Structure 1
């Protein structure tokens, strides 16, 4: 219970808990806090050994995500490292393997050393596919150092595709650049929402007016966090429901002055409609219970198409947004990550169709060259896997796969089950699919650990040793998976609350 539900270790000293257990089971001997902490470490060691055995026996490669976080209470930096893999039963698995205290300064050399120690400790340095990280210069340098350290081991494609940028953060950067263009309109809406949610009394006045106007109040106003564009999107959507309320409130409260204009609302409606594609993409990229790699290319191409469409808008501000967002898009996604495109090709609903559909509009006359580059990556991978498995006719199987018609696009398509069923038909391709479909396109799994971590290293647990913190975090991840995912660890569905985008 303490591990799974983040109860304080001091609960064993609480009078209420003693009375409850005395009534529920008088014979139960309540352990001391020290005994409880010792038991937690024993559970951690036991579950760690189980997971290590699972990773050793697993046939596929392991993708990693990592992120850094500093606890507000202890002012200590922690690094979360999460392993992602498709197990031998073709089920996608994600496990936190380290939640480790990292002393300052958090340099690229320090982070690389911590990462390498983790890889050696878990004996997985020879089974890696990619490492997905946030977009910053320290992480870029860390990966360069890691590639030098890992040069003698078996990396996929010699490590050429090892570095994965977090797609959710790239989306965040793109949208924030766009929102900066219309900051004045957004700020007036934000100011109004902030004013009317600042106290229970003001909220009461607000919804009294809502009822007087006969507006259905199905949602509350949502104040955003400026660093999370998706929360700004939700704030705009919630405010739009009550846009006729704000002018009426101006007459009720003389102190309320910063009322959004009609032009603000017209622009807000345009923005909310257009940002929906980004919001849906963020949710797609943030999933941890299903593969995301195969949907990377079509999702990113849809985003580029949306930006191109905005550039023809009749609203000058929307055009300016599109220009700013296109520039940021091109700085990260003018060239696609080769392995992610291969993941899309190995989705039987897409194969080469996505490239054939989108690349001409993205690259113009250079589209054929870009398709050839991706085909070369795919052939390199097939050759590499064929050599390791000593399989024959892998290339002909690839041609056979590509020549077969794509399957219909159905909702909730289970790509892992498809490859499990067709494994014998494509002995080499199914191994490639198993490895690259485990690769997450975002660091949400590692970042979500910190939404729990913020509570874990709270004032209630300020005396915890970093080793105990790690035991609690990792054991919760491992036990939660055994309880059929009932915990909210690493849940992509929690992007509104658990992750700073």
Structure 2
């Protein structure tokens, strides 16, 4: 006899053999137990005896039965339903173990984290409380949307990896310090203004991210040049950094699949040896080989220097696979214009030097700058500051004169008054201003040609012939000018040389 727990009469069981297997039917203890009972409790159940025979019986209909030790158990040893409310925020994950369906993990609906689910649910409660993703979604009044490439819309989710990649792009584009993204002020700005879930990273992490990002972009560029580009035009030059170190750059210009002109800096190598032709050729060839462009070089444009000519004599046999070596070496047109203009400005050095001295005198004292500003305001002229030119760049000399000539009235009076009091002599005379205005008008064409031929996102080769004709005509017109005759003659000789 089996005793019931509900206070009713015990339910008689049929006689079974010693080796029989049976399913026991117990009366329902509470109303909530009915949900875990066999879904077909009123159907007869077969019981096999030891002899292989079978008999059937119908359980007492007054109570809902509960299955104990059923083979359809889903990982819960007692075969009962999970009653904790923590499962409202987790997905139960199951796997087959020895033919049984066993729960092995729980997956958070919000942050998609997987936690073990073989034991209790205390750790799941703690995760649900601390889950930042759930708290963020609960406080967000409306989901953020993001457009796909095809115009469809999807929900936007914060991605820390994407934020770190874009930080690398920002630092590289604006030349910012590596610790910019980890500064507390920047982190406070992003959290309060854009994304409260933003997490900053330290300078060391940003450095590693930059190296990783550079390698990824380099690989993508190599694949692009190999698969979608048939030829490239190279330019190279040497420049000095603030640390007194010389670097040689190699830039590739090409037309993409959309017929747009693009440029990419494919090499920036330290050249800590003499700038000889062999050293230049070695570094340029190394960069071209790394990007697998040996058979795709259309032209190489360099400054008009003897070392560059020697370098091209070494590189021409290696780069001549695409168009040969006849037109492979191209001399920079802007550098030739620079040599032409500098040959003429040597004759005007005393006049230009006086303008430099006047501007240096004004900028040497904050009191003089304030006094000149007050004088301009009194004369109803908008005040401005003047910068010095660079001796190696003639276009900076042109811009210096272009900025100071319109302030002839105020600047000359101020310099004459203050410079004479300090030095006891007059610095800028009427002849200085007349020659300065004449030089400014004469150099305007050369400056415009340099700007036009320095373009990188449009073809400049078709413009070259037009500017050569304009410069030749311009020199011929000023050849008989009384003030500029001495500078036009050497400039025209240099022009005919190239």
Q: Secondary structure at the match of 1:7?
A: coil
1:384-417 superposed Cα distances (whole Å, 9 cap, x missing partner): xxxxxxxxxxxxxxxxxxxxxxxxxxxxxxxxxx
- In structure 1, C-alpha distance between the alignment counterparts of 2:233 and 2:172, rounded to whole Å: 26
Shift of residue 246, structure 1, vs aligned partner: 4.0
- The answer on whether the counterparts of 1:246 and 1:259 sit within 8 Å (CA) in structure 2 is no
Decide which of 76, 79, 86 is 2:245's aligned counterpart.
76
- In structure 1, C-alpha distance between the alignment counterparts of 2:365 and 2:336, rounded to whole Å: 35
- In structure 1, C-alpha distance between the alignment counterparts of 2:403 and 2:316, rounded to whole Å: 46
Shift of residue 102, structure 1, vs aligned partner: 3.1
Residue equivalent to 2:203: 33
- In structure 2, C-alpha distance between the alignment counterparts of 1:10 and 1:258, rounded to whole Å: 52
Q: Secondary structure at the match of 1:244?
A: helix
TM-score by length of 1: 0.61
Residue equivalent to 2:462: 294
Q: Secondary structure at the match of 2:457?
A: coil
Change over 3 Å in CA distance of 1:160–1:248 after alignment to 2: same
Residue equivalent to 1:180: 346
Q: Secondary structure at the match of 2:408?
A: coil
TM-score by length of 2: 0.61
1:89 aligns with 2:258: yes
- The answer on whether the counterparts of 2:251 and 2:263 sit within 8 Å (CA) in structure 1 is yes
Shift of residue 223, structure 1, vs aligned partner: 2.1
Residue equivalent to 1:55: 225
Structure number, greater radius of gyration: 2
Shift of residue 4, structure 1, vs aligned partner: 2.2
- The answer on whether the counterparts of 1:188 and 1:259 sit within 8 Å (CA) in structure 2 is yes
- In structure 2, C-alpha distance between the alignment counterparts of 1:200 and 1:291, rounded to whole Å: 46
Residue equivalent to 1:149: 318
- In structure 2, C-alpha distance between the alignment counterparts of 1:271 and 1:70, rounded to whole Å: 30
Q: Which structure 2 residue ranges, 5 or more long, are not aligned?
A: 1-169
Residue equivalent to 1:255: 422
Q: Secondary structure at the match of 1:69?
A: strand
1:282 aligns with 2:447: no
Q: Secondary structure at the match of 1:159?
A: coil
Residue equivalent to 2:53: none
- The answer on whether the counterparts of 1:310 and 1:322 sit within 8 Å (CA) in structure 2 is yes
Q: Secondary structure at the match of 1:306?
A: helix
Shift of residue 12, structure 1, vs aligned partner: 4.7
Change over 3 Å in CA distance of 1:117–1:184 after alignment to 2: same
Decide which of 471, 484, 491 is 1:303's aligned counterpart.
471
Q: How many residues align?
A: 325
1:268 aligns with 2:436: yes
Change over 3 Å in CA distance of 1:219–1:164 after alignment to 2: farther
RMSD: 2.2
Decide which of 212, 235, 241 is 2:400's aligned counterpart.
235
Of Structure 1 and Structure 2, the greater strand share is in: 2
Decide which of 299, 303, 316 is 1:130's aligned counterpart.
299
**Which is further off, 77-86 or 58-67?**
58-67
Decide which of 486, 492, 497 is 1:320's aligned counterpart.
486
Residue equivalent to 2:17: none
Q: Secondary structure at the match of 1:189?
A: helix
Change over 3 Å in CA distance of 1:259–1:89 after alignment to 2: same
Of Structure 1 and Structure 2, the greater helix share is in: 1
- In structure 1, C-alpha distance between the alignment counterparts of 2:379 and 2:191, rounded to whole Å: 55
- In structure 2, C-alpha distance between the alignment counterparts of 1:233 and 1:260, rounded to whole Å: 18
- In structure 1, C-alpha distance between the alignment counterparts of 2:314 and 2:437, rounded to whole Å: 47
Residue equivalent to 1:405: none
1:210 aligns with 2:380: no
